[in-house]
């Protein structure tokens, strides 16, 4: 089975080709173009969607070339139908619909967040993990039960990715800012007290964001260090809570913030304490990419026919715990 996956939920436009044999998948190509806002600014949905439109054909062309196949070889096309920014989502959906209807290829709308998890499982070999999904759009702890991903904890306001990006932009970086913050943080070991807000299995970051902005006026490096230490300790604590409550023996971390070294070091320590195995998605596939969409579409094709064209819409707010998983 050969699948094409199209991702366009936020700043990334990406196409990927995966070959699926039984339960195994091989990524033949994964090409991305990322919209970069000016320093200190966030994603402008209209500008991002324009970027996606302008780059869509070259990304698709390159992705086919790299995989050494033609569109006619494809068995299915999947696209990220949500959650995400409306104008951006529509670009991917239009490309997918055009190809599917012109070449008569089955089409699959896919939940972007489920895509992060499924690709993580494929690339790490985790079988029954507690999943930590940390990105610009999500901060969630999930476990699979009874055909659905169930939420064991999540953020009550902004996500970990937003926390890092919004703070990073306030000191002049361009999104995504995680890497810049990590670099500055490594220059300090002076911890300044910041609000630590764990509510049961949930976290809240909005107070932490405001407080970090105000201590940054004194020292940017101390602020970066203290922000990381506080936010990651909060995440680690709720992970510990969920591991202990669910008794899961595997932890899988996926999403853009999975690339952060300090966070994964802390979580590795947590896993050691609880005798659980630690899996992190390879950095190259941590962020948004076509592969996550392609692989989920291929999995869905095991149990479902392609969608009718009239049902290939986009859904900006589409929680992953509302998706039935039958494969």
Partner 1 sequence: MLMKLRKKGAEADIYEFKWQNSKAILKIRKIKNYRNASLDLKIRKQRTIKESQILSQVKSFGIPTPLVYFVNLKKALIVMQEIPGKPVHDLPELKIVELSKEIGKLVGMLHKNGIMHGDLTTSNFIFFQNTVFVIDFGLSQNTIKPEDHAVDLRLIKEILNSAHAKIMESTWKNFLNGYKSIVGNANYVKITKLVSEIESRGRYAAVI
What distance in Å separates the CA atoms of residue 142 and residue 238, rounded to the nearest whole number?
A: 11
With binding defined as CB under 8 A, does residue 136 bind partner 1? no
Buried b (16+ CB within 10 A) or exposed e, 141-163: bbbbeeeebebbbbbebbbbbbb
CA neighbours closer than 13 Å in the CB half-sphere of residue 210? 4
In the complex with partner 1, which residue's Cβ is closer, 70 or 322? 322
Q: Which stretch binds partner 1 (CB under 8 A): 40-48, 49-57, 150-158, 248-256?
A: 150-158
Residue from the set 241, 249, 277, 323 that interacts with partner 1 by CB under 8 A: 241
Is residue 7 near partner 1 by the rule CB under 8 A?
A: no
Cβ-Cβ contacts under 8 Å for 166 (sequence gap 6 or more): 42, 158, 209
Residue 194 or 289: which CB sits closer to partner 1? 194
**Any contact of residue 36 with partner 1 (CB under 8 A)?**
no
User: Does 240 participate in binding partner 1 (rule CB under 8 A)?
Assistant: yes
Among 273, 304, 313, 327, binds partner 1 (CB under 8 A): 273
Site for partner 1 in 72-101 (CB under 8 A): 82-83
Please spell the DSSP secondary structure of 138-156, one letter per residue: -EEEEEEETTEEEEEEEBS
- Contacts within 8 Å (CB) and 24+ apart, 137-142: 137/9, 137/10, 137/83, 137/84, 137/112, 137/113, 137/161, 138/113, 138/255, 139/203, 139/205, 139/235, 140/113, 140/320, 141/201, 141/238, 141/239, 141/242, 142/117, 142/320, 142/321
| Bond preceding residue 176 cis, omega within 30 of 0 | yes
**Strand-pair partners of 6:** 15, 79
Give 60 or 160: the residue with its C-beta nearer to partner 1. Answer: 160
Counting every residue written for the chain, the total comes to 327
With contacts defined by CB under 8 A, name the span among 25-33, 63-71, 93-101, 313-321 that binds partner 1.
Answer: 313-321
On whether the CB atoms of residues 201 and 141 are closer than 8 A, the answer is yes
**For partner 1, which stretch binds (CB under 8 A), given 11-19, 44-52, 180-188, 236-244?**
236-244
The verdict on 317 binding partner 1 (CB under 8 A) reads yes
Minimum Å distance from CB 235 to partner 1?
Answer: 11
| Position 62 contacts partner 1 (CB under 8 A) | no
Burial 168-190 (b: 16+ CB within 10 A, else e): bbebebbbbbbebbbebbeebee
What's the closest the beta carbon of residue 261 comes to partner 1, in angstroms? 13
Residue 138 in the binding site for partner 1 (CB under 8 A):
yes
- Which residues ranging from 171 to 200 are in contact with partner 1 (CB under 8 A)? 191, 193, 196, 198-200
143 touches partner 1 (CB under 8 A): yes
Structure tokens at 236: 């680690």
Q: According to the binding rule CB under 8 A, does residue 152 interact with partner 1? A: yes
Considering only CA atoms, give the Rg of the chain.
20
Tell me how many residues contact partner 1 (CB under 8 A): 49
Of 150, 207, 304, 327, which one interacts with partner 1 (CB under 8 A)? Answer: 150
Binding site for partner 1 (CB under 8 A): 82-83, 137-140, 143, 145-146, 148, 150-157, 159, 191, 193, 196, 198-202, 229-230, 233, 236-237, 240-241, 243-246, 265-266, 269-270, 273-274, 316-319, 322
């Amino acid at each position: 089975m050969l699948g094409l996956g199209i991702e366009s939920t936020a700043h990334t436009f990406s196409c990927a080709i995966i070959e699926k044999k039984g339960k195994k998948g091989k990524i033949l190509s994964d090409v991305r173009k990322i919209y970069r806002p000016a320093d200190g600014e966030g994603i402008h949905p209209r500008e991002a969607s324009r970027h996606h439109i302008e780059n869509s054909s070259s990304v698709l062309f390159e992705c086919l070339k790299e995989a050494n196949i033609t569109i006619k070889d494809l068995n299915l096309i999947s696209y990220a139908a949500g959650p995400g920014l409306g104008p951006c989502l529509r670009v991917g959906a239009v490309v997918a619909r055009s190809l599917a209807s012109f070449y008569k290829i089955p089409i699959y709308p896919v939940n972007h967040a489920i895509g992060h998890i499924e690709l993580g499982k494929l690339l790490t070999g985790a079988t029954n993990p507690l999943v930590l999904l940390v990105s610009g759009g999500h901060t969630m702890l999930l476990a699979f039960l009874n055909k659905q991903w169930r939420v064991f904890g999540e953020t009550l306001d902004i996500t970990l990715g937003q926390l890092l990006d919004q703070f990073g932009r306030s000191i002049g970086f361009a999104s995504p800012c995680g890497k810049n913050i990590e670099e500055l943080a490594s220059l300090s070991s002076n911890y300044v007290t910041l609000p630590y807000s764990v509510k049961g299995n949930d976290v809240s970051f909005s107070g932490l964001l405001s407080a970090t902005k105000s201590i940054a006026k004194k020292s940017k490096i101390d602020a970066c260090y203290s922000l990381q230490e506080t936010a990651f300790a909060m995440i680690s604590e709720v992970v510990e809570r969920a591991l202990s409550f669910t008794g899961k023996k595997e932890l899988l971390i996926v999403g853009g913030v999975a690339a952060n070294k300090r966070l994964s070091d802390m979580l590795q320590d947590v896993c050691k304490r609880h005798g659980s195995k630690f899996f992190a998605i390879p950095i190259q596939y941590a962020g948004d990419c076509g592969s996550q969409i392609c692989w989920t579409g291929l999995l869905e094709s095991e149990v479902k026919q392609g969608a009718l064209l009239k049902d290939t819409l986009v859904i900006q707010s589409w929680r992953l715990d509302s998706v039935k998983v039958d494969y």
